[in-house]
A and B are shown apart, each in its own frame.
Chain A
Amino acid sequence: MQEIPIDSDYLAALRKGAPEAFEELYRKYYRMVEDMVLKYRGNAEDARDVFQEALFVFVKKLREPEFVLTSKASTFIYAIARNIYLKKAGRPSPEISVDQQQFVFEEQTDAVTEGLSHEEKDSLLNLVNEQLDNLEADCRSVLTYSFYQNLSHAQIAMLTGYTEAFVKVKKFRCLEYLRKLVKNNPKYINR
């Protein structure tokens, strides 16, 4: 299988959410996951669900600034997908060797969302999503790069073409603007 070279260009495309970067992952790795799911007696619909979930974990992991992919992308995606499928199907996972431990991901939790109930998460998601839509696209991008993808100012500067100094100014300006929009929303006050 020809692997996707996970170089800086490809990472940049993933970080920007470029559709072709995601489709490339499907084209290269979907069949491998589908074959695995079918081998475990799942069906094609299961395979699509599992692949979407595995990509979510993979891309989120890959976008972490400190993360270094030490195996092939196919190995990584396969292992994640297998764990997800076996867990969903209620089947015992095969014994995992030490070098496979890196692929075991419990449900992804971020420090800032820990402890929130599903209702609180839904409410916050709706509120912030609504207000993010009121921001300019460049503001949304900088906030996402800074506070969701946790990229450094230098990394954001490379993605946006701004200077590092401007990124720092802009991220706080955009955050302040978002904070005001959120706090002034009646849904926030009523929470």
Chain B
Amino acid sequence: MENNDYIERLHKYLNREMEGEERAIFESELANNEQLANDLTEEKKLLAGIHLAGDDALRKAIAAADKNLESQRFFHQAKVVSIDSAKTTKSFAMRKVMSIAAVAVVLIGLAYWGFFREKATLDTDQIFAANFKPETTLVKDILGGAGLLPADSMVQDSLKAALTLYDAGKYHEATIALDSFLVHHPTNDTAQFYLGMGHLNAERYARAVEVLEPITQNEASSFKLTAMWYLGLCYFKVDGGFAKAEEIFTALASNPESKDRQSAQGILQMIGH
């Protein structure tokens, strides 16, 4: 098969670019010419192989981008795990089975839910709105040299740049900068805290929960109690988070070291605790 016109004709047929009379003539030849039929079969295999290799290369290029971004913690930043969905199974099939069970649960609870859903949604949104203020005092102190920055001046500059974005209200940009910073300094709780705050200010509540939660478990972090306050507010904004919010504000309300103690007590009153 060294004649390019001959090969082009085979390709034209295989790619369905041959129509009407031209196609009919070709198929007639095909029925009577064994060599042509064999060449066509071989050529189809070759082109199919090239197509499959092309698809394979495209999938690999996409997977490589995915992997590279994972190494940059892109998905950690982007991951929005709602409190309920985090508990769902990985399997689509299994989820289908679970959804049937969920329907039964929903039916049983429907009367109660129908009566109280609207009130509960309204209340938690109102409580959040009444109590949430972006954290601006501490960040200004940090930027002004009040400590909580790394000793190394280059590292300090990098974190300061990210916190300056936060302080300027550029929350999305701040989360990107902080996420990059955390790649190299994963245990820096100042960066962790403001990453969570950046997500919270950008209304990415589930992401904020994911970032703030570990800080509230970190006894050594000076951000622990403040992170608890904001985490509690975040839980008001995510599905199924009410009980966690109540638990956090109960803990804060009885903690004399928390500057938000009285506010937490007020929230507990508002939710009828």
Some 24 contacts from A to B, beta carbons below 8 A apart, are A19-B61, A19-B64, A22-B64, A26-B65, A31-B78, A34-B78, A41-B84, A44-B75, A44-B79, A46-B92, A48-B75, A52-B59, A52-B63, A56-B55, A89-B92, A110-B48, A121-B48, A124-B52, A128-B46, A147-B50, A148-B53, A148-B54, A175-B7, A179-B1
Query: For the complex, is B21 an interface residue (Cβ under 8 Å from A)?
Result: no
Query: For the complex, is A99 an interface residue (Cβ under 8 Å from B)?
Result: no
Q: Which residues B11-67 have CB closer than 8 A to chain A?
A: 11, 14-16, 42, 44-59, 61-66
- Pair B48/A124 contact, Cβ less than 8 Å: yes
Query: For the complex, is A77 an interface residue (Cβ under 8 Å from B)?
Result: no
Query: For the complex, is A158 an interface residue (Cβ under 8 Å from B)?
Result: no
Distance A38 CA – B206 CA, assembled complex (angstroms): 11
Distance A113 CA – B15 CA, assembled complex (angstroms): 10
- Pair A112/B66 contact, Cβ less than 8 Å: no
Distance A48 CA – B80 CA, assembled complex (angstroms): 12
Contact with B along A103-136 (1 / 0, CB 8 A): 0000010111100100001001101110010000
Residues of chain A lying within 8 A (CB to CB) of residue B69: 23, 26-27
Give chain B nearest CB distance to A47 CB in angstroms.
Answer: 8
- Pair A111/B15 contact, Cβ less than 8 Å: yes
Partner of A22, one of B2, B14, B45, B61: B61
Residues of A participating in the B interface, judged by any CB pair closer than 8 Å: 17, 19, 22-23, 25-27, 30-31, 34-35, 38, 41-46, 48, 52, 55-56, 59-60, 88-90, 108, 110-113, 116, 121, 124-125, 127-129, 132, 143-144, 147-150, 172, 175-176, 178-179, 182-183
Distance A178 CA – B7 CA, assembled complex (angstroms): 14
Query: For the complex, is B133 an interface residue (Cβ under 8 Å from A)?
Result: no
Partner of A149, one of B54, B80, B82, B96: B54
- Pair A127/B49 contact, Cβ less than 8 Å: yes
Q: A112-B15, A176-B2 are in contact. Are A144 and B52 (CB under 8 A)?
A: no
Q: A43-B81, A124-B45 are in contact. Are A48 and B66 (CB under 8 A)?
A: yes
Query: For the complex, is B269 an interface residue (Cβ under 8 Å from A)?
Result: no
For A31, A44, A90, the residue with the greatest tally of chain B CB atoms inside 10 Å of its CB is A44
Query: For the complex, is B86 an interface residue (Cβ under 8 Å from A)?
Result: yes
Query: For the complex, is B4 an interface residue (Cβ under 8 Å from A)?
Result: yes
Distance A42 CA – B87 CA, assembled complex (angstroms): 10
Distance A113 CA – B86 CA, assembled complex (angstroms): 39
- Other than the given A42-B88, A43-B86, A90-B96, 8 more pairs (CB < 8 A) read A30-B78, A43-B90, A59-B62, A112-B47, A144-B50, A144-B54, A182-B46, A182-B49
Give chain A nearest CB distance to B173 CB in angstroms.
Answer: 13
List the 6 closest A-B pairs by CB distance, nearest first.
A128-B49, A148-B54, A22-B65, A125-B52, A112-B47, A124-B49
Distance A52 CA – B58 CA, assembled complex (angstroms): 10
- Pair B90/A129 contact, Cβ less than 8 Å: no
Q: A23-B68, A26-B69, A38-B82 are in contact. Are A55 and B62 (CB under 8 A)?
A: yes
Distance A110 CA – B206 CA, assembled complex (angstroms): 41
Query: For the complex, is B85 an interface residue (Cβ under 8 Å from A)?
Result: yes
Distance A176 CA – B92 CA, assembled complex (angstroms): 45
For A112, A148, A179, the residue with the greatest tally of chain B CB atoms inside 10 Å of its CB is A112
Q: Which residues B213-262 have CB closer than 8 A to chain A?
A: none
For A52, A128, A144, A179, the residue with the greatest tally of chain B CB atoms inside 10 Å of its CB is A128
B2, closest chain A residue (CB): A176
Distance A166 CA – B1 CA, assembled complex (angstroms): 20
B78, closest chain A residue (CB): A31
B204, closest chain A residue (CB): A31
Residues of chain A lying within 8 A (CB to CB) of residue B50: 128, 132, 143-144, 147-148, 178
Q: A38-B82, A43-B90 are in contact. Are A179 and B46 (CB under 8 A)?
A: yes
Distance A119 CA – B68 CA, assembled complex (angstroms): 31
Distance A25 CA – B62 CA, assembled complex (angstroms): 10
Query: For the complex, is B117 an interface residue (Cβ under 8 Å from A)?
Result: no
For B78, B96, B206, the residue with the greatest tally of chain A CB atoms inside 10 Å of its CB is B78
